Amino acid sequence: MTGYERLEMLIDGEWTAGSDAASMAVENPATEATIGDLPLASTQDLDRALAASLQGFNVWKDTPALQRQGILENAARLLEERREQIARTCTLEIGKPLRESLMEIDFTIGVLRWYAEEGKRAYGRVVPARDIRVRNTVLKEPVGPVVGFAAWNFPAVNVIRKVAGALAAGCSIIVKPSEEAPGTAIAIARCFQDAGLPRGVLNVVFGNPADTSAYLLSSSIPRKVTFTGSVPVGIHLQTLAARTLKRCTLELGGHAPFIVLPDADVELAAQTAAAFKLRNAGQVCTSPSRFFVHSSVHDRFVGVFADAFEKAVVGDGLDDAATMGPLAAQRRLEVMDRLVADARDHGASVVTGGKRIGNRGWFFAPTLLDEVPDEAAIMREEPFGPVAPVSRFEDLDEVIERANSVEVGLASYVFTRNGGWAQEATRRLNAGLVGINCAAISLPETPFGGVDHSGYGSEGGIEGLDAFMRTKFVAEIR
Ligand code: NAD
């Protein structure tokens, strides 16, 4: 277990193993070895966390924004000092190559710094009154204690988007990171505690996800829930939240179309497609996952894409040579096998990959499928893995219709040199994020979020801060 984080929960400013002996093993997906034993919260622990989050909120909301910023900036500095150790923890528990983990921690620091700064700018406004004696003021206030549930695929970023947004707005938060990647979240929480965050403002708990979320959401203390994860779980949590009328921000799955128009820079498109598909072994909600390529450039695109996939070095993320790590869990391998078999049954060809690599660790070969018909399951179900289905198209109307034919709408990508086509695709694509000739669509300062079954609300940008605030209108006669 060397080099891995000590696994604890943070409740009311104290690190704890919880009030009962329940725990679960954390595994390294590259080796299948147990790397830690994670304590799980009892209902008494959750009650303590709820009470602490209310007390923490009462202290934090009345802490001046500039003072809050100072503490968040201290936490960012500590994260910077500890970045290499935290990145290693991230790779150990989720498998991504160390350089990707380092990029994730750097992005995490960027998100924290951006929110820390922006918290000072949660301005209200003065509305011109109808009577000279009246002053109409709109005030922004923190919404209240928050509960956040974060998925395993970005163990740092999924957590910081919730924690930093809440804290910058003046909210307290109970966060339940994924039980599959707890160490990274704990290491981040240590930075906040060591930075001087008052007790109860940030609480970290673990437990059976269904039981823990049902318990926390049945309490009227949290006034908001923020979740990153799958569509069915998002719908379930919104239903639970409705009973106590909590606000929701839901970052759910996607199934991003990647459209290559006939005039595109095909080399750039194929290299970008491969690089972003390999990232985190395709376990990214914005990962390009349905590749629609114009017939006239199809063969060149597939050739460059396949070549890039074949050059990928799949291995343990701690190995310097690895450019792609394992999948996070065995269940993801089973999904890849099923989707590839189904695509084959529907007449698709496997250009490269198509199966598990080795028999230890959850490694799956980067897989390029060609001539995949829309009826294949992979064209409707997000693979969340390194499997890329390619399909031809003939004209813009047809491809937009096919791109919009799923219920989710998170990311979308268009490669073209034609400004008119780019604008038309941007206007007509049903998605919260559009990348034109690029795939870099997530930044601390820009809103990140989807539409329809991809959820709603934004993390990042001024919209991300606003999501943790409520509005108060004051009419005052002098
Ligand atoms: P899953 O539906 O079992 O779990 C998704 C996440 O939700 C996990 O972190 C899990 O711990 C959590 N979860 C599950 N039930 C919960 C509950 N009742 N209350 C609170 N949290 C709960 O799926 P999975 O196999 O872990 O992940 C695969 C699918 O999840 C993908 O196909 C993808 O669509 C989606 N996903 C999306 C994101 C994202 O960034 N939006 C991240 C991870 C997973």
Checking if the pLDDT of 2 tops 70, the result is no
| Smallest CA separation from ligand 1 atom 21, residue | 209
Q: Which residue has the tokens 């990214």?
A: 284
Atom of ligand 1 nearest to the CA of 237: 19
| Smallest CA separation from ligand 1 atom 20, residue | 209
Q: Return the percentage of the chain with pLDDT > 90, whole number.
A: 99
Residue 104 CA to residue 442 CA, distance in Å, equals 12
Tokens in use for 20?
């009962």
Output the pTM of the full model. Answer: 0.96
Residue 458 in contact with residue 445, Cβ under 8 Å? no
285 labelled catalytic: yes
Tokens in use for 222?
């949290």
Tokens in use for 68?
């809050």
Checking if the pLDDT of 158 tops 60, the result is yes
Q: Which residue in 57, 113, 11, 175 sits closest to 470, CA to CA?
A: 57
Q: Which residue in 435, 437, 382, 468 sits closest to 167, CA to CA?
A: 468
Q: Which residue in 65, 15, 471 sits closest to 206, CA to CA?
A: 15
The residue from 93, 100, 251, 459 that is catalytic is 251
Phi, psi of 344 (to 5 degrees): -60, -45
According to DSSP, the residues that pair with 476 across neighbouring strands are 135
pLDDT value at residue 21: 82
pLDDT digits (tens, 9 = 90+) for 308-363: 999 999 999 999 999 999 999 999 999 999 999 999 999 999 999 999 999 999 99
pLDDT digits (tens, 9 = 90+) for 60-103: 999 999 999 999 999 999 999 999 999 999 999 999 999 999 99
Q: Return the percentage of the chain with pLDDT > 70, whole number.
A: 100
Residue 285 CA to residue 254 CA, distance in Å, equals 5
- Average of pLDDT values for 264-284? 98
pLDDT value at residue 300: 98
- Give the amino acid at 58: N
pLDDT digits (tens, 9 = 90+) for 6-62: 999 999 999 999 998 899 999 999 999 999 999 999 999 999 999 999 999 999 999
How many whole angstroms from 332 Cα to the centroid of ligand 1? 11
Q: Which of 180, 230, 239, 287 has most ligand 1 atoms within 8 Å of CB, for mutation?
A: 230
Residue 164 CA to residue 146 CA, distance in Å, equals 12
Domains with residue ranges and CATH for the chain = 9-252+454-477 (3.40.605.10), 256-443 (3.40.309.10)
Residue 425 in contact with residue 402, Cβ under 8 Å? no
Residue 7 CA to residue 163 CA, distance in Å, equals 19
**DSSP secondary structure, 338-392, as one string:** HHHHHHHHTT-EEEE--SB-SSSS--B--EEEES--TTSGGGTS---SSEEEEEE
Tokens in use for 67?
């003072």
- Average of pLDDT values for 455-476? 97
Q: How confident is the model at residue 1 (pLDDT cuts 50, 70, 90)?
A: very low
pLDDT digits (tens, 9 = 90+) for 163-209: 999 999 999 999 999 999 999 999 999 999 999 999 999 999 999 99
Checking if the pLDDT of 477 tops 50, the result is yes
Phi, psi of 435 (to 5 degrees): -110, 120
Compute the 3-state secondary structure of the chain and give helix, strand, coil in percent, each to the nearest 5: 40, 20, 35
- Average of pLDDT values for 260-285? 98
238 lines ligand 1 (CB under 6 A): no
Q: Cβ of 347: how many Cβ atoms within 10 Å?
A: 11
Residue 422 in contact with residue 416, Cβ under 8 Å? yes
Checking if the pLDDT of 133 tops 90, the result is yes
Q: Report the mean per-residue pLDDT for the chain.
A: 97
Angle at 454 between CA 448 and CA 459, to 5 degrees: 25
The residue from 90, 191, 248, 285 that is catalytic is 285
Residue 2 in contact with residue 146, Cβ under 8 Å? no
pLDDT digits (tens, 9 = 90+) for 409-463: 999 999 999 999 999 999 999 999 999 999 999 999 999 999 999 999 999 999 9
- Strands 349-352 and 451-452 turn out to be unpaired
Residue 417 CA to residue 435 CA, distance in Å, equals 13
